[in-house]
Structure 1
Amino acid sequence: MTQAPPGRYLTREATTPADITRAQMLRARCFQTGATRDTDAFDAKARHFLVEDRASGALVCCFRLTLFRAATLAQSYAAQFYDLNNLTRINGALLELGRFCVDPDWQDPDIQRLAWGQLAREVDRNGAALLFGCSSFTGTDPTAYRDAFAQLKQKHLAPTQWRPAMKADWTFAYARETHTADLRRARQQTPPLLRSYLAMGGWVSDHAVIDRQMDTLHVFTGLEIAAIPPNRARLLRALA
């Protein structure tokens, strides 16, 4: 279904193979995979969403969503890297957000706001209890993000009952570090998608995975829908 809020952009679900190919090409640009298209086995089971410029039709943002229950959570993208057994105790649907990216040539904050509006719509439509995914930092050197990781440790670690355990071969256990965060640098080092999660009460794993294939560090990120501040929830639903 196409959503057409007032303004420069519209959001819609991909409806054709050509739509998905466009998204995969944008992903390849954003994640710098060196390929023309970024594809994986998880695309087939996901629903894909696009944010486009109304005037030109240019694709400026894309992401995919996949619905899971406790019994199927091990089939998620994130479960390749994190032990998610604790999350199987959550009652309700679990919605995985993946491959979220914004064209680097388009720096308009309205793009991400509209994408979150579409996410809010899908969360409500599916009755999701948890929105989750992997939030990526560019590159594989943890020292480039010391302040961001220190701030995550101090304020945003997942509750113990939900916290993912280590599974990947290459990890950085930043919660064991003793560095004190500089708040300004921490914000600068934190990716925009992760900042959005955290602003709504999201939380993260106590370690980062070093993903050499994608040339990223990423942290598991969860957002309990019931814990989103009411004012923020109303704003998102208004965008939807």
Structure 2
Amino acid sequence: MTQIARTRDSSTAPRRLHAERLMGATALREAQALRFRVFSAEFNATLHGAELGLDMDDYDRHCVHIGVRDLNSGRLVATTRLLDHHAARRIGRYYSEEEFKLDGLAHLPGPILEIGRTCVDPAYRNGGTIAVLWSELAEVLNEGGYRYLMGCASIPMQDGGIQAAAIMQRLRERYLCTEHLRAQPKNPLPSLDLPSNVIAQLPPLLKAYMRLGAKICGEPCWDPEFQVADVFILLKRDELCPRYARHFKAAV
């Protein structure tokens, strides 16, 4: 099932946003092109497929890709990809395991779904767009009976790590939990001493995960290709925040 939502931008007519599975080579190329535009512009990332204007890797063909389309323009404006435990077993690992040693992963009870490469067109970064994307994620969670959602959320490092250090001070106090899984970064960030009163805004996607009820499972990993600090997040399905659980329908 997909969802169509109407949102309004301050300078345009009402938007009709449609959640969908991105099926076939053409739709996948749309997702890869959107990822390229966002990641190259915002992070100056080194991307495989850049010569084609795409962000692509070997995981893509093993993932379910979902997205949000503006029906007024036909443009794909948000996307993410989902790798389940069956696909990870075929590949030999989850994507997150390239950056983290995940102690306890094998002992998590129930099916696991990994989310990654999430991005939203800058002109559509509002609660309405992410809610439509979450609605399609909920459908995948429901269909597969997944008990855990995990993945990485990125913090830009163009400032030398000040934002990441300030955000981590906040996350450790409120959202750190290693009860179910401990994520040990393979490439830890250099230590950076900051006064306790230095604050920074959470990136929108990281904030969205925290609002859903996700926890971080350890310290961040430095990703030199994307020039970001990646934070490993874990969301237990039956611990979804009630305020946002409506996006996930029967998933709770």
Q: Does TM, scored on the shorter chain, surpass 0.5?
A: yes
**SS of 2:59 mapped into structure 1:** helix
Residue number in structure 1 paired with 2:113: 95
CA-CA distance at 1:138 after TM superposition: 2.0
Judged with a 3 Å threshold, the aligned counterparts in structure 2 of structure 1 residues 160 and 192 are, in CA distance, closer, same or farther, namely same
Amino acid aligned to 1:5? I
Judged with a 3 Å threshold, the aligned counterparts in structure 2 of structure 1 residues 137 and 231 are, in CA distance, closer, same or farther, namely closer
Q: 1:49 aligns with which of 66, 71, 88?
A: 66
**SS of 2:72 mapped into structure 1:** coil
Where does the alignment leave 5 or more consecutive residues of structure 2 unmatched? Answer: 7-15
Judged with a 3 Å threshold, the aligned counterparts in structure 2 of structure 1 residues 16 and 231 are, in CA distance, closer, same or farther, namely same
Counterpart contact for 1:146–1:181, Cα < 8 Å: no
Q: 2:26 aligns with which of 12, 18, 29?
A: 18
Counterpart contact for 1:173–1:208, Cα < 8 Å: no
1 CA distance for matches of 2:73 and 2:101?
43
CA RMSD of aligned residues (A): 2.5
Aligned length in residues: 231
Judged with a 3 Å threshold, the aligned counterparts in structure 2 of structure 1 residues 41 and 12 are, in CA distance, closer, same or farther, namely same
Counterpart contact for 2:181–2:217, Cα < 8 Å: no
Residue number in structure 1 paired with 2:225: 213
Deviations 1:90-137 (A, max 9, x none): 111110001000012323321111111111121111111110111011
Where does the alignment leave 5 or more consecutive residues of structure 1 unmatched? Answer: none
TM-score by length of 1: 0.87
Residue number in structure 2 paired with 1:143: 162
Judged with a 3 Å threshold, the aligned counterparts in structure 2 of structure 1 residues 172 and 121 are, in CA distance, closer, same or farther, namely same
CA-CA distance at 1:222 after TM superposition: 0.8
2 CA distance for matches of 1:218 and 1:155?
18
Residue number in structure 2 paired with 1:113: 131
1 CA distance for matches of 2:142 and 2:197?
36
2 CA distance for matches of 1:146 and 1:202?
19
- Counting aligned pairs with the same residue, the percent is 27
TM-score by length of 2: 0.83
Deviations 1:158-190 (A, max 9, x none): 234412123x2x21277x9675355xx44x2x1
**SS of 1:41 mapped into structure 2:** coil
Judged with a 3 Å threshold, the aligned counterparts in structure 2 of structure 1 residues 159 and 173 are, in CA distance, closer, same or farther, namely farther
2 CA distance for matches of 1:181 and 1:96?
34
